[in-house]
C-alpha cells in the first residue's frame, strides 16, 4: 500500500458511540424498499383475498407510510391488538377456518399489514423482509408460472435492497443498488447449483390441509349432465405430449381416462376395478410419446388407446385405466407407447359384463322402449333376438340419422335425462351423447360403459408439441362385442363428425367459447403458441425438476442412481468451490500485482541466481551498471531492462498505449534474458 | 465457548488471532485475521430458509426451491462480501493527544483501503472500555476513526486491543478482526479542581499573590527566596528590616515560583499530591507566572509557555517515586 496514493483521511463525522444497529429508527428509503417488496408479493393474493382484507391491508400499509417521520401518528398497542382480533375473526367468518391453505395465506396477508404498521426499527424491518419471502412462497401454491417467477425475483431484489439499506443507512442509494446487483448476480450461480444438486425428496413431509389441491381442475370420478361442458370452458392445460416421430391423426387421439360403470339415473360413477395384468395389444400403429401431466389430484394417467407400456410406479386396472399409487399433485412426466388403431380394444374380460348391463329401474321409459325394439328384431326373423353387433349397427344408424345438436350450453334436463335429451331437447354435449348411448346399449342387452378422457389436442407449430386442454375433455362409450372385446364407439362423432377432425371450436356455433378458442383469432393464437412453447420448456425444465429428473441429470455426469449422500457431497464440493473461487477473485481484485514490479523482481531473481544480488541500497541504475559489468555476456539487455523499468516507474507518465507497449517489452526482455 | 480461555490467557489469544501485540506501523488485515460468524439476524435467516425449504418439499414447489436457493445464494455472496469488507484493510495508528486522567483519551486510527470498492459501516470497538466508532472507508481511500477511551490513571495508556467489525452488506454475518497497534496516550494526573494558589516563596510570606506578579512595575515587597535574582532584592528596605526583602513587580515578567512535591503533606498520598501539583501547573500557566517544578529526582527550571507546561505535566504523569521516596497509595505503575 503506497501512502502517497491515498487522499487525506476523512475526519470521521460521528465519533460518538452509536445506538445498537437494530434500534435505529427506519427512514423513508427503508419503507419504500420494504413496501415495494411487500406490494409485489401481495398483489397476486389481492385477487384471491376477500375485498375487506385487501382494503384493510392497504390501509395498514398506507397508515405506516403516512407516519414516516411522524411517530405521533402510530397507533397504540391496544388498537393493534384489536385489529389483529378483528382481522382473525373476519377470516374465520369468511372461511370458517383459520388453518388450511387459503385462510392461512390470508392470515399471513393480514400479519404483513400489521407488521408493516408497527415497524419502528431495524429488527421489525428484518421481520418484514422475512414475511415478504413467506408471502412470495405462498403465491407458488396457486401458480408457478413464468410471470410469478419474475415477480418473485423483483420481490427478492427489493427485499435484498432493503437489507442493504438497513445495513448501511448513510450510503448513497446508487452504491447500494450496485451492491444489490452484485449480490444477486453472485447468488444466481449458487442458486442454480443448489437447485440442481440439492438432494430432492418426494413430498409431502406431513399431512396437507384439506383444501390444498382445490385449485386443480380436471376430470372427475363421476359424470353428470353439465359436468364436462363446464370443464370444457376452461382453457387450462391438462397435459402436453411430445411424440417421437409422426403424431397419429387427430381423429385417432383418444386419451383414455377414467372409466364409468355405475349409473343411478343421473350420474355415472367409476366402478371398483381391480389391478390386472396389462394385455398386450394385438395390432395398430406403434406410437411413442412422453406426456407431461398437469397435477389434477387424481390417480389416473392418460394414454392413447391401446397402451403397450406401463410407466414405473403405476398399475393397470382391469377396465383399462392406468393409475398411479399416489394422486398426481405435482407435474408428472411419463413415457408411453401405444398401438393406435381402429381396432384397438383393451381387454376382453367377461367377468365385468354383468356390471356393464346394470341399469336403475324406473328411468327413461322411452329410451328403454327404443332399445328393446332394436334388440327384439333379428336380422331376418322377428322372433330371434338380434345379435349385439346388429343392435350396435341400429344404434349407430339412429345417432347418425337423428342429427342431435352439439352444444356446450345445453338445456337443463329433468329426471329422465336420457329421454329428454333424445326426444325433447335434442341438444347436448358429449356427456349427454355418451350417457344416452350407453344407456341405450345396456337397455338393449349389450354390455357398455362410459369412458371419459380427452380427445384431440392442439399442435404447437413452434415446438411441435401437442397441448391437450380441459376444453378437449370428452366422453365416449365402449361396447363389448363377442369376438372383438371392448370396442370404442363415439356417439358424439356419429352425430357431429366435425368434432373429431376440427375440434370443439368448429363443431359449436355459439359465442360461449373462450376468446382464444375462436378460429378468427389467428394472430393471437400464434402469440399464444410461442408463449406456450416457452411455458412448456419452463414446466419441463424448471417446474418438472423432481427427484427422478435429478437422478437423470446426475447420470449425465456418470453418477448412476446417486443417493442423497452422494448428492449432498457433490453439492458441498461444488458450492464450496464456488464460494472459495468468489473469495479468491475478490481478494485478487484487491491486490492485483503490479506487472512492472513483478517483471523487475523476476529480473532481480535471475541476476541473483547468477551471483549478482541487488543490495538494499542500490537503485535500478547502479544495480544494472554493476550487473552489466559483472555479466558482460548480457550487458546490453540488462541495461535496456533497467532503462525500461526506470521509464515506467519514474519517467514522465506515458499514454496508456505506450505504457502497455513498454510493459510488454519489459516482460519479454526479462523472460528472454540469457547470460550466454 | 472459546471466549473464556481466550480472555483469561493473552498468550493463547495471541496464538489464536495470529499476531503479537503491539504491532508496529501499518497493520494490514490479512484474510486469515478476519473471522466471520452468522449474526443473530443471520441465524434467523437460516431458520427462515429452513422453513421455506420444508414448505417447498412438502408442497413440491419447484419455484419454492428456486426462491429458497436464490436467498441462500444471496446469503453466501453476502458472507463473502462481509469478509471482503474487512480483508486487506490497512490500519495505522495516529498520534493520540495527551489527556488528563478522568477525561477521554482520543486515539486516532486511519483505515486505508486500496480496493476498488468502498467499505461502509466498519465498527471499531476498543476492547477494554467498549468505546466505539463507525466509519465508511471510500474506495481506494482512507478514513479516520476516533476512539474516545476514558482514562483513570496518569501515565502511558496504551490503546490496547481494538476490534474491527462489520455486518455489511446484508447484516446476516458478522466479520471481525483484532488489531493492537503500537499506540499510546499520555495521561496527565487529574488536575485537582479548586486547586490552591501556588505557594509563596516561603511559608512565612504566605498571602502574596502570584498571579499579579511581574517585573515591570513595582508593586510591593515580599520575603526573599534563595532563587530570587539579586537585581530584585530591595537592598535599602532589607537593610532597615531584619529579613531580606525582594521587590515585587506587576506585569509581563514574573517572579519565579517553585512547585514542589515536598511542599505538600505526605498524608495526602502521592497521587493526590501530584494531582494538586498538576492543578498548580495549570493555574500558574494561566496566571502567566514563571514556574518551576521540583519532584524527587526531577527538576524543571522555572519558565512558562505551552512547551514548559507540557513538560511539567509530562513529568508529573510519568513520575515514578524512587527508592526511599514517599509511596502514596495510588502509586503509578
Give A-chain residues touching B136 at CB under 8 angstroms. 168, 170-171
**3-class SS of residue B311:** helix
* Grid cell at residue A9: 483521511
**Which pLDDT value is given to residue A500?**
58
For A170, the 3-state DSSP assignment is coil
Of the candidates B80, B88, B130, which has its C-beta nearest A590's C-beta?
Answer: B88
Which residue of chain A has the CA closest to B168? A167
Residue B102 touches chain A, beta carbons under 8 Å: no
B248: enclosing H helix or E strand: strand B245-250
ipTM more than 0.85? Answer: no
Q: Quick one: pLDDT at residue B47?
A: 96
Q: How far is A561 from chain B (nearest CA, A)?
A: 20
Contact (CB, 8 A) for A628 and A640 = no
A186 touches chain B (CB under 8 A): yes
Chain B contact set for A181 (CB, 8 A): none
**B65, B68, B132 member nearest A18 (Cβ):** B132
Which whole number is the average pLDDT over A487-504? 74
Better-scored residue on pLDDT, A397 or A204: A397
Residue predicted with more confidence, A155 or A215 = A155
Contacts of A198 in chain B (CB under 8 A): 65, 69
Closest partner CB to A144 (pick from B31, B63, B123): B63
Query: Facing residues of A324 across strands?
Result: A314
In degrees and rounded to multiples of 5, residue B207 shows phi and psi of 110, -25
State pLDDT tens for residues A293-302. Answer: 888 888 889 9
Q: Which residue has the higher pLDDT, B117 or A508?
A: B117
The answer to whether A518 and A236 are in contact (CB under 8 A) is no
Residue A188 Cα to chain centre, angstroms: 18
Query: Between A440 and A220, whose confidence is greater?
Result: A440
Residue pair B214/B252 in contact (Cβ under 8 Å)? The answer is yes
Q: Do B72 and A205 make contact, defined as CB atoms within 8 angstroms?
A: no
User: Three-class SS of residue B173?
Assistant: strand
pLDDT above 80: residue A36: yes
Distances from the Cα of A408 to the Cα of A40, A403, A430, A626, angstroms: 38, 16, 9, 102
Q: Does B42 touch chain A (CB under 8 A)?
A: no
Whether residue A208 lies within 8 A of chain B, CB to CB, comes out as yes
Determine whether the interchain pair A586/B84 forms a contact, defined as Cβ–Cβ distance below 8 Å.
yes
| Residue A579 forms contact with B (CB below 8 Å) | yes
Quick check: A128 pLDDT over 90? yes
CB-closest option in B52, B140, B145 to A137? B52
Tens digits of residue pLDDT in A144-201: 889 999 999 999 999 999 999 998 888 888 999 999 999 999 999 999 999 998 888 7
**Rounded Cα gap, residues A464 and A501, in angstroms:** 18
Q: What pLDDT is attached to residue B331?
A: 37
> Which tens digits make up the pLDDT trace of A547-557?
777 887 888 88
Is B138–A10 a contact, with Cβ atoms under 8 angstroms apart?
yes
Report chain A residues whose CB lies below 8 A from the CB of B44: 126, 130
* Euclidean distance between CA atoms A217 and A298, whole angstroms: 10
User: Looking at residue A501, what is its pLDDT?
Assistant: 55
Whether residue B143 and residue A12 make contact (CB cut-off 8 A), yes or no, is yes
Mean pLDDT is lowest, of A9-18, A99-108, B211-220, for A9-18
Q: B residues 126-185 near A, CB within 8 Å?
A: 130-136, 138, 140-148, 167-172
**Looking at chain B from residue 203 to 232, which residues have their Cβ under 8 Å from any Cβ of chain A?**
none
Q: Which residues of B174-208 are buried (b: 16+ CB within 10 A; e: fewer)?
A: bbbbbbbbebbbbbbbbbbeebebbbbbeeebeeb
Q: How many CB pairs under 8 A join A and B?
A: 229
Rg (CA), chain A: 38
pLDDT at B330: 37
Residue numbers in B near A136 (CB within 8 A): 67
- Just list the catalytic residues of A: 430, 474, 490
Asked if A10 lies within 8 A of B142 by C-beta distance, the reply is yes
Q: Minimal CA–CA distance to B126: which of B151, B102, B160, B158? A: B160
**Are A579 and B80 inside 8 Å of each other by CB?**
yes
Provide the pLDDT confidence category of residue A408 given band limits of 50, 70 and 90.
low
Q: Evaluate if residue A117 carries a pLDDT over 50.
A: yes
Count other Cβ atoms within 10 Å, centred on residue A384: 11
Strands A485-489 and B27-28: unpaired
Res A14: pLDDT: 42
Dihedral pair phi/psi, residue A2, rounded to 5°: -90, 130
Whole-number Å distance between alpha carbons of A494 and A393: 12
**CA dist list (Å): B96 to A7, A361, B109, B146, B333:** 21, 107, 9, 10, 20
Q: Do A202 and B55 touch (CB under 8 A)?
A: no
Total count of residues recorded for chain A: 676
8 Å CB contact of A17 and B26: no
Residues of chain A found within 8 Å of residue B80, distances taken between Cβ atoms: 186, 579, 582-583, 586
> How many angstroms separate the CA of residue A530 from the nearest CA in chain B?
22
φ, ψ (nearest 5 deg) of residue A377? -85, 115
> If pLDDT is split at 50, 70 and 90, which confidence band does A269 have?
confident
Task: Give A171 to chain B, closest Cα distance, Å.
Answer: 7
Indicate whether A109 pLDDT > 80: yes
Q: Residue B252: pLDDT above 70?
A: no
Whether A641 contacts A669, CB under 8 Å: yes
Lowest mean pLDDT among A152-166, A376-390, B206-220: B206-220
- What residues in A contact B170, CB-CB < 8 Å? 160, 163-164, 167, 183
Structure confidence at residue A236 (pLDDT): 76
pLDDT of residue B45: 95
Compute the mean pLDDT over every residue in chain A, rounded to the nearest whole number: 81
CB A282 within 8 A of CB A484: no
For A584-600, b/e burial (b = at least 16 CB within 10 A) is eebbeebeeeeebeebb
pLDDT of res. A381: 57
In SS3 terms, A284-350 reads as: CEEEEEEEEECCCCCCEECEECCECCCCCCEEEECCCCEEECCCCCCCEEEEEEEEECCCCCCCCCH
The SS3 of residue A653 is coil
Mean pLDDT of A355-363: 85
Do B112 and A6 make contact, defined as CB atoms within 8 angstroms? yes
Higher per-residue pLDDT: B111 or A515: B111
Residue in B55, B120, B143 nearest the CB of A137: B55
* Tens-digit pLDDT profile for residues A604-661: 888 888 888 888 788 888 898 898 888 888 888 898 899 888 888 787 777 778 888 8
- C-alpha A25/C-alpha A74 separation (Å) is 13
**Contact at CB, A579 and B90, closer than 8 angstroms:** no
Whether pLDDT at B262 is above 80: yes
Q: A321-335, B180-194, B222-236, B255-269: which has the minimum mean pLDDT? A: B222-236
Query: Is residue A325's pLDDT more than 60?
Result: yes
Q: How far apart are CA B166 and CA B122, in angstroms?
A: 5
Q: Is A521 exposed, middle or buried (0-12, 13-18, 19+ CB in 10 A)?
A: middle
3-class secondary structure per residue, A363-418: CCHHHHHHHHHHHHCCCCCCCCCCCHHHHHHHHHHHHHHHCCEECCCCCCCCCCHH
Q: Where are the alpha helices (DSSP H) in B162-202?
A: none
What is the C-alpha to C-alpha distance for residues B61 and B248, in angstroms, rounded to an integer? 98
Number of neighbours of residue A636 by Cβ within 10 angstroms? 10
Question: Measured between alpha carbons, how far apart are the two ends of chain A, in Å?
Answer: 38
Q: Which residue of B has its CA nearest to A207?
A: B58
Cβ atoms within 10 Å, residue A653: 8
How far is residue A403 from each of residues A96, A369, A494, measured CA to CA in Å? Answer: 49, 20, 9
Hey, are the CB atoms on B72 and A194 less than 8 Å from each other? yes
- The vertex-A210 CA angle with A207 and A216, nearest 5°, equals 105
Residues B25-82: pLDDT tens digits? 778 888 788 899 999 999 999 999 999 999 898 888 889 999 999 999 999 999 999 9
Banded pLDDT at B173 (limits 50, 70, 90) = very high
C-alpha cell at A556: 449425465
Residue A457 burial by CB count (10 A; 0-12/13-18/19+): exposed, middle or buried? buried
Terminal C-alpha separation, chain B: 33
CA nearest to B90 within chain A? A1
CA A311 to the chain's CA centroid: 22
- Is the distance from CB of B290 to CB of B254 less than 8 angstroms? yes
pLDDT in tens, A532-580: 778 777 877 887 787 777 887 888 887 777 777 888 888 899 999 998 8
Contact (CB<8Å) B146/A575? no
Q: What is the mean pLDDT of residues A478-488?
A: 83
Amino acid at each position: 500500500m503506497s501512502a502517497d496514493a491515498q487522499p487525506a483521511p476523512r475526519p470521521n463525522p460521528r465519533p460518538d458511540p452509536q445506538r445498537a444497529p437494530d434500534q435505529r429508527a427506519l427512514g423513508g428509503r427503508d419503507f419504500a424498499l420494504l413496501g415495494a417488496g411487500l406490494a409485489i408479493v401481495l398483489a397476486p393474493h389481492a385477487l384471491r383475498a376477500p375485498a375487506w382484507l385487501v382494503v384493510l391491508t392497504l390501509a395498514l400499509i398506507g397508515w405506516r407510510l403516512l407516519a414516516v417521520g411522524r411517530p405521533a401518528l402510530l397507533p397504540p398497542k391496544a388498537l393493534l391488538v384489536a385489529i389483529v382480533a378483528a382481522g382473525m375473526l373476519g377470516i374465520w367468518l369468511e372461511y370458517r377456518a383459520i388453518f388450511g391453505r387459503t385462510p392461512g395465506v390470508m392470515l399471513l396477508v393480514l400479519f404483513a399489514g400489521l407488521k408493516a404498521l408497527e415497524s419502528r426499527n431495524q429488527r421489525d424491518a428484518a421481520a418484514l423482509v422475512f414475511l415478504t419471502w413467506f408471502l412470495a412462497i405462498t403465491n407458488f401454491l396457486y401458480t408457478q408460472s413464468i410471470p410469478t417467477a419474475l415477480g418473485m425475483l423483483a420481490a427478492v431484489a427489493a427485499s435484498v435492497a432493503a437489507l442493504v439499506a438497513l445495513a448501511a443507512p448513510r450510503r448513497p442509494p446508487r452504491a447500494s443498488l450496485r451492491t444489490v446487483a452484485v449480490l444477486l448476480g453472485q447468488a444466481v450461480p449458487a442458486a442454480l447449483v443448489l437447485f440442481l444438486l440439492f438432494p430432492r425428496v418426494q413430498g409431502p413431509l406431513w399431512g396437507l390441509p384439506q383444501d390444498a389441491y382445490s385449485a386443480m381442475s380436471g376430470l372427475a370420478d363421476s359424470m353428470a349432465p353439465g359436468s364436462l361442458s363446464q370443464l370444457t370452458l376452461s382453457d387450462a392445460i391438462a397435459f402436453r405430449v411430445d411424440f417421437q416421430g409422426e403424431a397419429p391423426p387427430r381423429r385417432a387421439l383418444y386419451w383414455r381416462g377414467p372409466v364409468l360403470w355405475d349409473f343411478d339415473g343421473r350420474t355415472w360413477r367409476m366402478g371398483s376395478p381391480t389391478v390386472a395384468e396389462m394385455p398386450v395389444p394385438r395390432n395398430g400403429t406403434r406410437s411413442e410419446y412422453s406426456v407431461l401431466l398437469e397435477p389434477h389430484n387424481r390417480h389416473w394417467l392418460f394414454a392413447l388407446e391401446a397402451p403397450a407400456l406401463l410407466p414405473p410406479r403405476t398399475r393397470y386396472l382391469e377396465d383399462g385405466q392406468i393409475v398411479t399409487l399416489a394422486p398426481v399433485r405435482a407435474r408428472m412426466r411419463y413415457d408411453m407407447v401405444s398401438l393406435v388403431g381402429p381396432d384397438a380394444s383393451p381387454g376382453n374380460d367377461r367377468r365385468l359384463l354383468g356390471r356393464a348391463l346394470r341399469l336403475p329401474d324406473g328411468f327413461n321409459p322411452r329410451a328403454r322402449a327404443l332399445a328393446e325394439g332394436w334388440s327384439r328384431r333379428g336380422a331376418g326373423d322377428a322372433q330371434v333376438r338380434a345379435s349385439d353387433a346388429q343392435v350396435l349397427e341400429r344404434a349407430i344408424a339412429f345417432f347418425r340419422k337423428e342429427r342431435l345438436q352439439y352444444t356446450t350450453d345445453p338445456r337443463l334436463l329433468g329426471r329422465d335425462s336420457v329421454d329428454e335429451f333424445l326426444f325433447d331437447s335434442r341438444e347436448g354435449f358429449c356427456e349427454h351423447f355418451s350417457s344416452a348411448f350407453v344407456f341405450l346399449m345396456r337397455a338393449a342387452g349389450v354390455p357398455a360403459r362410459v369412458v371419459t378422457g380427452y380427445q384431440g389436442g392442439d399442435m404447437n407449430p413452434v415446438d411441435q408439441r401437442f397441448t391437450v386442454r380441459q376444453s378437449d375433455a370428452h366422453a365416449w362409450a365402449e361396447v363389448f362385442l363377442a369376438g372383438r372385446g371392448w370396442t370404442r364407439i363415439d356417439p358424439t362423432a356419429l352425430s357431429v363428425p366435425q368434432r373429431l377432425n376440427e375440434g370443439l371450436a368448429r363443431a359449436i356455433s355459439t359465442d360461449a367459447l373462450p376468446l382464444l378458442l375462436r378460429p378468427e383469432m389467428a394472430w393471437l393464437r400464434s402469440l399464444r403458441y410461442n408463449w406456450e412453447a416457452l411455458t412448456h420448456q419452463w414446466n419441463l425444465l424448471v417446474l418438472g425438476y423432481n427427484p427422478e429428473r435429478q437422478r437423470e441429470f446426475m447420470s449425465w455426469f456418470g453418477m448412476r442412481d446417486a443417493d442423497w449422500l452422494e448428492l449432498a457431497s457433490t453439492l458441498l464440493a461444488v458450492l464450496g468451490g464456488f464460494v472459495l473461487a468468489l473469495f479468491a477473485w475478490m481478494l485478487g481484485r484487491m491486490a492485483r500485482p503490479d506487472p512492472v514490479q513483478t517483471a523487475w523482481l523476476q529480473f532481480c531473481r535471475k541476476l541473483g541466481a547468477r551471483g549478482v544480488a541487488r543490495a538494499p541500497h542500490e537503485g535500478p541504475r547502479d544495480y544494472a551498471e554493476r550487473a552489466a559489468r559483472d555479466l558482460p555476456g548480457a550487458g546490453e539487455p540488462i541495461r535496456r531492462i533497467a532503462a525500461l523499468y526506470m521509464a515506467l516507474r519514474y519517467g514522465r507518465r506515458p499514454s496508456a498505449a505506450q505504457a502497455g507497449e513498454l510493459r510488454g517489452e519489459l516482460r519479454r526482455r526479462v523472460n528472454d534474458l540469457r547470460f550466454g | 465457548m472459546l471466549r473464556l480461555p481466550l480472555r483469561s490467557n493473552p498468550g493463547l489469544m495471541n496464538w489464536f488471532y495470529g499476531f503479537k501485540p503491539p504491532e508496529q506501523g501499518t497493520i494490514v488485515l490479512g484474510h486469515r485475521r478476519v473471522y466471520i460468524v452468522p449474526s443473530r439476524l443471520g441465524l434467523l435467516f437460516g431458520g427462515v430458509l429452513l422453513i421455506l425449504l420444508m414448505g417447498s418439499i412438502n408442497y413440491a414447489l419447484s419455484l419454492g426451491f428456486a426462491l429458497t436457493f436464490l436467498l441462500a445464494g444471496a446469503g453466501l455472496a453476502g458472507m463473502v462480501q462481509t469478509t471482503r469488507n474487512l480483508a486487506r484493510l490497512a490500519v495505522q495508528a495516529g498520534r493520540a493527544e495527551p489527556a488528563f486522567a478522568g477525561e477521554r483519551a482520543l486515539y486516532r486510527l486511519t483505515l486505508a483501503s486500496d480496493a476498488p470498492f468502498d467499505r461502509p459501516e466498519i465498527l471499531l470497538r476498543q476492547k477494554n472500555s467498549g468505546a466505539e466508532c463507525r466509519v465508511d472507508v471510500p474506495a481506494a481511500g482512507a478514513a479516520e476513526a476516533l476512539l474516545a477511551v476514558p482514562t483513570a490513571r496518569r501515565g502511558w495508556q496504551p490503546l490496547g486491543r481494538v476490534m474491527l467489525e462489520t455486518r455489511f452488506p446484508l447484516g446476516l454475518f458478522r466479520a471481525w478482526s483484532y488489531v493492537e497497534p503500537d499506540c499510546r496516550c499520555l495521561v496527565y494526573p487529574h488536575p485537582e479542581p479548586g486547586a490552591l494558589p501556588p505557594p509563596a516563596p516561603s511559608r512565612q510570606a504566605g498571602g502574596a499573590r502570584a498571579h499579579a506578579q511581574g517585573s515591570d512595575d513595582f508593586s510591593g515587597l515580599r520575603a526573599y527566596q534563595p532563587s530570587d535574582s539579586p537585581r530584585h532584592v530591595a537592598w535599602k528596605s532589607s537593610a532597615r528590616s531584619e529579613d531580606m526583602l525582594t521587590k515585587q513587580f506587576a506585569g509581563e515578567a514574573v517572579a519565579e515560583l517553585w512547585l514542589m512535591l515536598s511542599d505538600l503533606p505526605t498524608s495526602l498520598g502521592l497521587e493526590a499530591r501530584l494531582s494538586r501539583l498538576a492543578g498548580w501547573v495549570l493555574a500558574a500557566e494561566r496566571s502567566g507566572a514563571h514556574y518551576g517544578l521540583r519532584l524527587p529526582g526531577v527538576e524543571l527550571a522555572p519558565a512558562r509557555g505551552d512547551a514548559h507546561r507540557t513538560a511539567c505535566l509530562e513529568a508529573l504523569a510519568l513520575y515514578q517515586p524512587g527508592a526511599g521516596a514517599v509511596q502514596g497509595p495510588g502509586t503509578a505503575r
